[in-house]
Chain A
């Protein structure tokens, strides 16, 4: 089975270590994964801004790169869901957010290494409300959280959640620019709630939320760090 790692553009730009960790983790779990060349962007930021019709060349590039793979896995729920919902049926049923894929398909029972830190889990909007990584607080459905399940496989990690555990952090793509003040207010509220848990790290399945919250942490010089969940899961590899 041919598995491709989808490298979201902004992850490549600001968190390339997440790509390395994703690759190592999947290999460790016995997945024959490769990183196809020529990847740029799925078109989500432009689509959310109102310019999906301008992105046909990005879609064409994406389709050409990935069409022959059986499974596509990406470390960004927002991008994965965008492809799922805006690319017609071409990738339906074979594109996964990486935690979703590991949790639902590979189902590991243990992971090597330990991460002896207190970690505040950021349940990203698209991760839980669109990719189904956890039960959203709005719905009356049985509780589940695939991210917590996976983190429980790592030794030493203590997982906590902030108050309002799935309220939006305010990134929202170009929302963060166009409504900058609101975005920063939302992000600041969120970061301070993470801080109140006493955690050392904020972790999430979306680098975009972490990039935005990281910017607020940096500007306010707060004693918090951000780390993509895959880096924790791959810490012993």
Chain B
């Protein structure tokens, strides 16, 4: 059976639907998550400082980074100070956001991605097309070829289990020899100073269990007040993201292992600017679950690379606009305003309504402006509308007779004769 990205992600959406419907209080959980996020994001100074105090008391070293530059410099500095040449990293969208890996490469530090999908993407020299399923667009045959070249697997063998085992053996060497390990964070618990990382592969756990230097970096929007509120989010996260009740591993990192150092970096990089935007501050609710991508009918058909921002789909359109509107305004048209994302979003972001709002200020194309102005002119009064229809009725007939279509594979509708329908 041929499965494309649309089918594959629709299956994930279906699993999400089934699991969410097993929880009678699902909609209340979403409400609670929404309110908790509004609370945390409106109490960032207190919560972040509380986190810092707790984490420091636990023995971690906390750093603050106002932007991508500071984030990279802190990590680069730590790795240099510790003489790191091999660095293992679990998946972190923040590191993509801040272009960490190319920066470290320039410093002569080899970074190995340890999440299987992310590793495939890294070996291909590509970038993620989905934030949770970064290699969703790659066929297993392509992975087979890649692993044959990179890991010496059997030619032509693209059995998923075989390839996964090969990757596992290959990564094991890196885990054992790495000088430092890094994770992002799904959550940071203010009351306990813990960094919480949710994965399915256990790669984050391996990558942080051997090296003497552990780094965790997260955007300041990852803060949650306490473990009780964390429970609301962990119940929603995996169910929405992948249709699992919970991720295989939910690891709470609080203190450094004996004889090692644990550094935590809290990164702003534009988040406080989003917080100050009255139309779009709710974007900071995002858990990066990818649920909106899985449900978006446009994303499923065009894939992640059709968007200019590194995060695609409904959330990516919005975050791209929040980051650099002139660079990403073309993505605004990648939305039919179907509103499915708003219903899936575990933290109830009004993603489509926000796209509507961005569109009012940033216009993606000149032809759209011309069409809109044209319609405005026609709709200026009933006599104009009637006259347009009177002309449009035969004109459309003629156009259609000449083979003009409303895009390839779709005919124009007939326009009714206004004289027959008064």
**Residue of chain B at shortest CB distance from A210:** B413
CA distance A177 to B95 in the complex (A): 36
CA distance A176 to B27 in the complex (A): 32
Q: Is A117 an interface position by the 8 A CB rule?
A: no
Could you tell me if B407 and A183 are in contact, using CB atoms closer than 8 angstroms? Answer: yes
Could you tell me if A45 and B375 are in contact, using CB atoms closer than 8 angstroms? Answer: yes
CA distance A52 to B297 in the complex (A): 25
What's the minimum C-beta distance from B351 to chain A, rounded to whole angstroms? Answer: 12
What's the minimum C-beta distance from A204 to chain B, rounded to whole angstroms? Answer: 14
Interface residues of A in 104-150 (CB under 8 A from B): 125-126, 129-130, 136-141
Interface residues of A in 218-235 (CB under 8 A from B): 218-220
Could you tell me if A212 and B382 are in contact, using CB atoms closer than 8 angstroms? Answer: no
Chain A residues, Cβ within 8 Å of B42: none
Chain A residues, Cβ within 8 Å of B278: none
Could you tell me if B336 and A40 are in contact, using CB atoms closer than 8 angstroms? Answer: no
Task: Please tell me which one of the listed residues A41, A50, A186 contacts residue B359 in the complex, with CB atoms under 8 A apart.
Answer: A50
Interface residues of B in 322-379 (CB under 8 A from A): 332-340, 342-344, 356, 359-365, 367-369, 371-373, 375-376, 378-379
Q: Is A162 an interface position by the 8 A CB rule?
A: no
**Residue of chain A at shortest CB distance from B356:** A48
- Known contacts: A40-B379, A50-B362, A130-B339. The answer to whether A219 contacts B409 by CB under 8 A is yes
CA distance A104 to B337 in the complex (A): 26
Q: Is A152 an interface position by the 8 A CB rule?
A: no
Q: Is A88 an interface position by the 8 A CB rule?
A: no
Q: Is A74 an interface position by the 8 A CB rule?
A: no
Contact with B along A175-195 (1 / 0, CB 8 A): 111111111111111000000
Interface residues of A in 195-220 (CB under 8 A from B): 211-212, 214-216, 218-220
Could you tell me if A129 and B343 are in contact, using CB atoms closer than 8 angstroms? Answer: yes
| Chain A-chain B contacts (Cβ-Cβ < 8 Å), number | 189
Size of the chain A interface, CB-CB below 8 angstroms: 71
Chain B residues, Cβ within 8 Å of A174: 368, 371-372
Q: Name the prevailing secondary structure of the A interface residues.
A: helix
Q: Is B411 an interface position by the 8 A CB rule?
A: yes
**Residue of chain A at shortest CB distance from B416:** A16
Q: Is A9 an interface position by the 8 A CB rule?
A: yes
Interface residues of A in 1-25 (CB under 8 A from B): 9, 12-17, 19-20
What's the minimum C-beta distance from B335 to chain A, rounded to whole angstroms? Answer: 7
CA distance A140 to B215 in the complex (A): 39
Chain B residues, Cβ within 8 Å of A214: 411, 413
Chain B residues, Cβ within 8 Å of A89: none
Chain A residues, Cβ within 8 Å of B385: 9, 12, 40-41
Q: Is A157 an interface position by the 8 A CB rule?
A: no
Could you tell me if B409 and A177 are in contact, using CB atoms closer than 8 angstroms? Answer: no
Q: Is A30 an interface position by the 8 A CB rule?
A: no
Could you tell me if B369 and A51 are in contact, using CB atoms closer than 8 angstroms? Answer: yes
Could you tell me if B411 and A218 are in contact, using CB atoms closer than 8 angstroms? Answer: yes
**Residue of chain A at shortest CB distance from B345:** A138
Chain A residues, Cβ within 8 Å of B395: none
Could you tell me if A139 and B343 are in contact, using CB atoms closer than 8 angstroms? Answer: yes
Q: Is B298 an interface position by the 8 A CB rule?
A: yes
Chain A residues, Cβ within 8 Å of B369: 51
Q: Is B20 an interface position by the 8 A CB rule?
A: yes
Could you tell me if B340 and A138 are in contact, using CB atoms closer than 8 angstroms? Answer: yes
What's the minimum C-beta distance from B163 to chain A, rounded to whole angstroms? Answer: 30
Q: Is B17 an interface position by the 8 A CB rule?
A: yes
What's the minimum C-beta distance from B177 to chain A, rounded to whole angstroms? Answer: 46
CA distance A51 to B384 in the complex (A): 20
Q: Is A102 an interface position by the 8 A CB rule?
A: no
CA distance A176 to B371 in the complex (A): 12
CA distance A141 to B364 in the complex (A): 37
Could you tell me if A40 and B298 are in contact, using CB atoms closer than 8 angstroms? Answer: no
What's the minimum C-beta distance from A183 to chain B, rounded to whole angstroms? Answer: 7
Could you tell me if B336 and A183 are in contact, using CB atoms closer than 8 angstroms? Answer: yes
- Known contacts: A181-B408, A186-B297, A216-B409. The answer to whether A138 contacts B336 by CB under 8 A is no
Could you tell me if B372 and A140 are in contact, using CB atoms closer than 8 angstroms? Answer: no
Q: Is B125 an interface position by the 8 A CB rule?
A: no
Chain A residues, Cβ within 8 Å of B20: 140
**Residue of chain B at shortest CB distance from A50:** B359
Chain A residues, Cβ within 8 Å of B69: none
Could you tell me if A50 and B298 are in contact, using CB atoms closer than 8 angstroms? Answer: no
Could you tell me if A49 and B372 are in contact, using CB atoms closer than 8 angstroms? Answer: yes
Q: Is A171 an interface position by the 8 A CB rule?
A: yes
Q: Is B154 an interface position by the 8 A CB rule?
A: no
Chain B residues, Cβ within 8 Å of A41: 375, 379, 385
Task: Please tell me which one of the listed residues B338, B360, B392 contacts residue A129 in the complex, with CB atoms under 8 A apart.
Answer: B338
Q: A140-B27, A172-B337, A184-B409 are in contact. List 12 more A-B contacts (CB 8 A).
A: A37-B382, A45-B372, A50-B361, A50-B368, A54-B372, A125-B336, A138-B340, A167-B297, A167-B340, A177-B407, A184-B410, A188-B409
Q: List 6 A-B contacts (CB under 8 A).
A: A47-B356, A48-B359, A138-B344, A168-B336, A179-B298, A179-B336
Residues of B in contact with A (beta carbons under 8 Å apart): 6, 10, 17, 20-21, 23-24, 26-27, 295, 297-298, 301-302, 332-340, 342-344, 356, 359-365, 367-369, 371-373, 375-376, 378-382, 384-385, 389, 392, 405-416, 418, 420-421
Listed from nearest, the 3 A-B pairs whose CB atoms lie closest are: A138-B343, A172-B336, A50-B359
